[in-house]
Amino acid sequence: MKRRDFIYLSGLGAAATMLPIPMMGNAIDPGRALETVDVALKKQLADVALNAARSKGATYTDVRIGRYLNQFVITREDKVQNIVNTESYGLGVRVIANGSWGFAATDKLDKDSIAKAAEQAVAIAKENSRLLTEPVRLASQKGYGEVSWKAPIEKNAFEVPIKEKVDLLLDVNGAAMKSGADYITSLLFLVNEQKYFASTDGSYIDQDVHRIWPAFFITKIDKVSGKFETRNSLSTPMGMGYEYLNFRPQDKIKGVTTLYKGRYDMFEDAKAAGAQAGEKLKAKSVEPGKYDLILDPSHLWLTIHESTGHPTELDRVLGYEANFAGTSFLTLDKWESKKFNYGSKLVNIVADKTQLGSLGAVGYDDEGVQCGQWDIIKDGILVNYQATRDQAHILGLNASQGCCYADNWSSVQFQRMPNISLQPGKEKKSIDDLIKGVEKGIYIIGDGSFSIDQQRYNFQFGGQLFYEIKNGKIVGMLRDVAYQANSQEFWNSCVGIADASDYRLGGAFGDGKGQPPQSNAVSHGSSTARFNGVNVINTARNL
């Protein structure tokens, strides 16, 4: 059992009053994050585990040597709250013995400790096989030999001096306060996964993954009424280096508020947010009823994640998550029928582990499968799921789809979500074109409250900014908005998707699944899209 420590950030915007950030590993000097481990040494260590497991009777073994680096820089208003650098380094070994999986891990990287971990994994596999109903069937996988993959970043964020990051965040806070915010917490969260994988199939894979998440949380208070409103940043976590913060004019989409495509102007967004939090306090409370929704990619990513990403996870469909995350309404019979109408004909949703700048991008997954892309929903029909090597046979596949991931060397890898994205509309169409056609609607920007049932039918989502649309025009801001729908009905109400020029990524660092829980970073792309006749509720209450 790997217990996670959490840094709890108190005093964030009230919408995120307690933001848990997993602190996985030991606190280190920032300079140590720039050191790397020699690949030849990692191969030697991996071979120790492979040989030890084989000698104890394992029929398959894979080894992951992981160095997981995190950096957090956290500020509020005019002060630095915390700067934390962490490192977690160790080895996990997974085996099949007597037809069952076994796993063990160690942070002691001497040969004896590694061999002992491999032997323990075999012993656990044998113990687990006592209640086995069906032996593991692993899809065949060729060995790649010694290969490597590096995230194509322009600037390693760990190389940027802490002072530069602190100055940026304090400037951002200053801009927000000047434009009307009463409180702001801002942060930079950086990740570098240095992962080495080796297996008895003959693969030795060295990978270097980088992720970045700049974010802020603003609160504005109306002292007279005692009401308060929040506005969170419109940034998204990305699989990028520090270049994500070096914005260019072509990365901005101008409209009712500035939207960001691939690069992010944190200062500009904070300035807008300070003013918008004040506007939200004065906005009209929404009249509940049916509305046509225009959903921005900064919002729609979360709806895709919850209503398409999770129900197409094959482990959920099969029942492996029944005691925790739940099962899925997208049962195998619906897939087998080849005519389950998940969405309208416009809806094409693709799984992709290779997308540049995305959180899920890697060369190979955590069981040594080279990554690619495949259709999940094709012209509105459910055509596929997300599978690992031991699940591929269930879908009649000869090879895994490369969806295996562990959040740490000490966690056992299992099926996790790849990037799952809505494809842009094929006809030339802008955000304005979509808004123009709406008689009574709401344009929603940014992600907010989110909740969905354990089989992924019924959901409710909020947002950051809500604009009322009347007769094709934005007429003002709304508040107290949330929409509820059934996943299948919602996707069948999709009547318009902007073209590829509007396509943007959203995503999250901390998608949770499994017991003990593990987190997964995943992106979801889309262009702005229109959904007709969605049920909107008013969330205002009086205490």
Partner 1 sequence: MAILSKEEAKKILDKVIGFSKADGVEANLNGNDGGNIRYARNSVSTAGEDSNVSLSVQTYFGKKSGTATINEFDDASLEKVVRRAEELAKLAPENPEFLEPLPQQTYGAESKTFIESTAKITPDYRAQAAADSIIPATKKDITAAGFLEDNRGFSALSNSKGLFAYNKSTGVDFTVTMRTNDGTGSGWVARNFNDISKLNTTEASQIAMEKALQSRNAKAIEPGKYTVILEPNAAADLLGLMIGGMNARQADEGRSYLSKKGGGTKLGEKIVDERVNIYTDPWNEEVPVGNWASGGMSRKKMDLIKNGTVENLIYDRYWASQKNAEPTAFPGNRIMEGGNASVEDMIKDTKKGVLVTRFWYIRAVDPQTLLYTGLTRDGTFYIENGKIKHPIKNFRFNESPIIMLNNLETLGKQMRVASGGGPGGGGSSLIPAMKIRDFTFSSLSDAV
Can you tell me the distance from the alpha carbon of 205 to that of 366, in angstroms, rounded to the nearest whole number?
10
**CB 151 to partner 1: min, Å:** 27
Q: Return the number of the residue (128 or 532) whose C-beta is nearest partner 1.
A: 128
Minimum CB–partner distance for residue 27 and partner 1 (Å)? 5
Residue 405 C-beta: closest distance to partner 1, Å: 15
CA gap 88, 105 in Å, rounded: 12
> Beta 252-253 vs 227-232: how paired, if at all?
unpaired
Of the candidates 198, 96, 208, which has an alpha carbon nearest to the alpha carbon of residue 144? 198
Contacts by residues 23-27 (CB-CB < 8 Å, ≥ 24 positions apart): 23/70, 23/84, 23/86, 24/68, 24/70, 24/86, 24/88, 24/407, 24/408, 25/68, 25/69, 25/70, 25/86, 25/87, 25/88, 25/89, 26/86, 26/87, 26/88, 27/84, 27/85, 27/86
391's tokens: 């699940």
Least separation in angstroms between CB 511 and partner 1? 13
Per the document, the length of the chain is: 543
Smallest gap, in angstroms, from Cβ of residue 135 to partner 1? 11
- To partner 1, the closest distance from the beta carbon of 67 in angstroms equals 15
Please state, in angstroms and rounded to a whole number, the distance separating the CA atoms of residues 293 and 434: 10
Which one, 398 or 515, has the nearer CB to partner 1?
A: 515
d(CA 442, CA 434): 12
**Terminal-to-terminal C-alpha distance of the chain:** 42
Nearer residue to partner 1 within complex by CB, 207 or 413? 413
Which is nearer to partner 1, 430 or 454 (by Cβ)?
454
Q: Which is nearer to partner 1, 221 or 256 (CB)?
A: 221
> Of the two residues 121 and 238, which places its CB atom closer to partner 1 in the complex?
121
Which of 182/433 has CB closer to partner 1? 182
β-pairing verdict for 284-285 and 473-479: parallel
Minimum gap (Å) between residue 502 Cβ and partner 1 = 28
